[in-house]
Amino acid sequence: MTTPEKPAPVNFIRHIINQDLETNKHGGRVATRFPPEPNGYLHIGHAKSICLNFGIAEDYPNATCNMRFDDTNPTKEDIDYVNSILADVHWLGFEWAGDVKYTSDYFDQLYDYAVELINKGKAYVCSLSAEEIRRTRGTLTEPGIDSPYRNRSVKENLDLFTRMRAGEFKDGEHVLRAKIDMASPNINMRDPVMYRILHASHHQTADKWCIYPMYDYSHPIADALEGITHSLCTLEFEDHRPLYDWTLDNITIDCHPQQIEFARLSLEHTVMSKRKLNELVTRKFVDGWDDPRMPTIAGIRRRGYTPESIRDFCDRIGITKVDTVIEMGVLENCIREDLDANAPRAMCVLNPLKVVIESVPADKTEMLVFINHPKTETLGKREIPFTREIYIDRSDFEENPPKDYKRLIPGGEVRLRGAYVIKCEQVVKDNDGNIIELRCRHDEKTLGKNPEGRKVKGVIHWVSATDCVDVEVRLYDRLFRADDPLVISKSADIKDQLNPDSLVIMEHCKAEKSLGTAKAGDTFQFEREGYFCVDNRHSTAERLVFNRTVTLRDTWAKIQEKQA
């Protein structure tokens, strides 16, 4: 969404597109696509690709971006994944051109092009096993070995390929391979497999097919059939580009999109591979794909991130050809800034300590007016009851305070946010010496102004103990201990990399009464505690559950600074 305040991003891909428009390379058209495989939920790395592809379509006149499922692997795919991916793209605020597309829409054409390649002597049926194909493929320093089936006649190839399609063979008995060059320095060009036999039902085509095309063969053709101009993918496909071009150069098709690679997003303290994320889900280390600790779009949404904050993040990290690992703090700053500007303020005591204000009569309730946001008047005002019994946070009282402690101490004073100054007169303990409550007095003359001649430095948050809501609060931290995603993905068992403190559940937190009507997804700044949102899965009207989206400040940066 380009506005006068927010100019379109500049990056090397947009430079290429600008040049292509000047030279009329693709007839002045710009068409991109986002092509996920529906084998898992989208993650924040996909968001980078989504913002890039759909962002180009938004910014260039008449440009389009297709939504295409790269669904050539039926055993790993599922319609649930299809639906979640579509919902996530919409949630991020993007709209695709026309109908949703599927590579499986083109299975007939892909088959016909394979027959064309066979007829031209550029593809053959190979009857080596997968293991033998791997073994004869050679290495980076040694050429591969020709398959003994490489010189089958066109007639024999056509016959076998037809019978592969007809279901006459078992999985793995034959494959169709491109006939390129087993001595190519690029391993991807050593007669890559184009089709494999897979007797598996497909979520779109059911049992129509028992042979399925490989990604490297189907992707360029699907792009060309859709008239894509710029096929943007991540750097690991750079070595596949010659095969992308070879495929289109050797079939009869009048469109040749340009593949351009960019660096994938990696984030500290997490992994982006759907396979690894799937493992976290299936081994129940997390509460599903949308666990708020997951780097999935669904997880981040449940955590309380807004679409704007994710789009802002993608703008900030930009598009380059250099692989880097982004600090989690960069993502967190985006949501922190968004919520600082837009989330209403509220008070919630996470670790309650009862305070009895003996100077307030037991039957008195005074309604105090609070503004919901210090800068945004449109967020309005609310009333908070002030009563004889209140809660403050246990950490806001110290019997033996360290130097410079500005909050409540025995005999000391503190200001209750938006209310009065109170003085602690007595600390009540149980038989084991645990503090059960504080006895205080308030100073009536201090509502909204400082007491004359007395300096009260500390301001703490509080809620009425007799007029509040009991809520559950979930505090999240990094899911993985290591900051290096490579360490995480290479770890023998992902379990050993998990941060045991990534989730802390606080029950019986006390929130101000106005939060009682909060709905799933609503976000708030809990004064002095951070930004929180109502969980969209476990929260009910009877029992509100809040997720901490992010802390008020970047505490990790501070810890790291100290360590350095």
- Residues annotated as part of the active site: 37, 264, 274
- Whole-number Å distance between alpha carbons of 123 and 114: 7
Interface positions, 238-267, toward ligand ATP (CB under 6 A)? 264-265
Q: Does position 127 bind ligand ATP by CB under 6 A?
A: no
| 302 in Cβ contact with 335 (< 8 Å) | no
Which residue intervals of 343-408 are DSSP H helices? none
Pairing between strand 530-534 and 523-526?
Answer: antiparallel
Residue 213 binding partner per list Mg ion, ligand ATP, none, with a CB distance cut-off of 5 to 8 Å that depends on partner kind: none
Residue closer to ligand ATP by CB (options 102, 524) is 102
Interface stretch with ligand ATP, choices 29-37, 426-434, 474-482, 495-503 (CB under 6 A) = 29-37
List residues bridging with 177 in a β-sheet.
124, 193
What's the alpha-carbon Rg for the chain, to the nearest Å? 31
Angle, alpha carbons 423-427-432 (nearest 5°)? 165
Which residue intervals of 405-514 are DSSP H helices? 485-490
Interface positions, 262-301, toward ligand ATP (CB under 6 A)? 264-265, 272-274
Beta strands in 482-551 (DSSP E): 503-512, 523-526, 530-534, 545-550
| 428 in Cβ contact with 353 (< 8 Å) | no
Least Å from the CB of residue 43 to ligand ATP: 6
- Whole-number Å distance between alpha carbons of 370 and 504: 30
Residue closer to Mg ion by CB (options 237, 480) is 237
Residue 46 binding partner per list Mg ion, ligand ATP, none, with a CB distance cut-off of 5 to 8 Å that depends on partner kind: ligand ATP
Least Å from the CB of residue 238 to ligand ATP: 12
Least Å from the CB of residue 14 to ligand ATP: 16
Residue 424 binding partner per list Mg ion, ligand ATP, none, with a CB distance cut-off of 5 to 8 Å that depends on partner kind: none
Sign of CA dihedral 266, 245, 198, 191: negative
Residue closer to ligand ATP by CB (options 37, 467) is 37
Q: Does position 489 bind ligand ATP by CB under 6 A?
A: no
Residue 33 binding partner per list Mg ion, ligand ATP, none, with a CB distance cut-off of 5 to 8 Å that depends on partner kind: none
Least Å from the CB of residue 41 to Mg ion: 13
- Whole-number Å distance between alpha carbons of 166 and 438: 81
CA 433 to chain centre: 46
Angle, alpha carbons 147-150-152 (nearest 5°)? 135
From 8, 37, 59, 116, residue interacting with ligand ATP (rule: CB under 6 A): 37
Residue closer to Mg ion by CB (options 76, 481) is 76
Residue 413 makes CB contacts below 8 A (sequence gap 6+) with: 421, 422, 423, 424, 454, 456
How many Cβ atoms are within 10 Å of 11's Cβ, its own excluded?
17
From 205, 234, 250, 489, residue interacting with ligand ATP (rule: CB under 6 A): 234
Residue closer to Mg ion by CB (options 145, 193) is 193
**CA distances from residue 14 to 5, 29, 261, 490 in whole angstroms, order as listed:** 19, 13, 13, 34
Residue closer to ligand ATP by CB (options 35, 344) is 35
From 9, 45, 304, 385, residue interacting with ligand ATP (rule: CB under 6 A): 45
| 323 in Cβ contact with 264 (< 8 Å) | yes
The size of the interface with ligand ATP (CB under 6 A), counted in residues, is 15
Least Å from the CB of residue 47 to ligand ATP: 8
Least Å from the CB of residue 64 to ligand ATP: 16
Structure tokens at 78: 């599922």
Residue 35 binding partner per list ligand ATP, Mg ion, none, with a CB distance cut-off of 5 to 8 Å that depends on partner kind: ligand ATP
Residue 387 binding partner per list ligand ATP, Mg ion, none, with a CB distance cut-off of 5 to 8 Å that depends on partner kind: none
User: What residues make contact with Mg ion under the rule CB under 5 A?
Assistant: 37
Binding mask 350-389 for ligand ATP (x = CB under 6 A): ----------------------------------------
Structure tokens at 433: 């010496």
Interface stretch with ligand ATP, choices 40-48, 175-183, 413-421, 539-547 (CB under 6 A) = 40-48
Least Å from the CB of residue 441 to ligand ATP: 58
Q: What single-letter amino acid sits at 534?
A: V
Structure tokens at 129: 């096993």
Structure tokens at 556: 């990790």
Q: Which residue is nearest to ligand ATP (CB)?
A: 45
Residue closer to ligand ATP by CB (options 14, 345) is 14
- Whole-number Å distance between alpha carbons of 353 and 475: 19
Q: Which residue is nearest to Mg ion (CB)?
A: 37
Residue 45 binding partner per list Mg ion, ligand ATP, none, with a CB distance cut-off of 5 to 8 Å that depends on partner kind: ligand ATP
Least Å from the CB of residue 85 to Mg ion: 12
Q: Does position 336 bind ligand ATP by CB under 6 A?
A: no
Residue closer to Mg ion by CB (options 231, 306) is 231
Residue closer to Mg ion by CB (options 69, 305) is 69
Residue 1 makes CB contacts below 8 A (sequence gap 6+) with: 58, 93, 311
Buried b (16+ CB within 10 A) or exposed e, 293-324: bbbbbbbbbbbbbbbbbbbbbbeebebeeeee
List residues near ligand ATP by CB under 6 A. Answer: 35-37, 45-46, 48-49, 70, 233-234, 264-265, 272-274
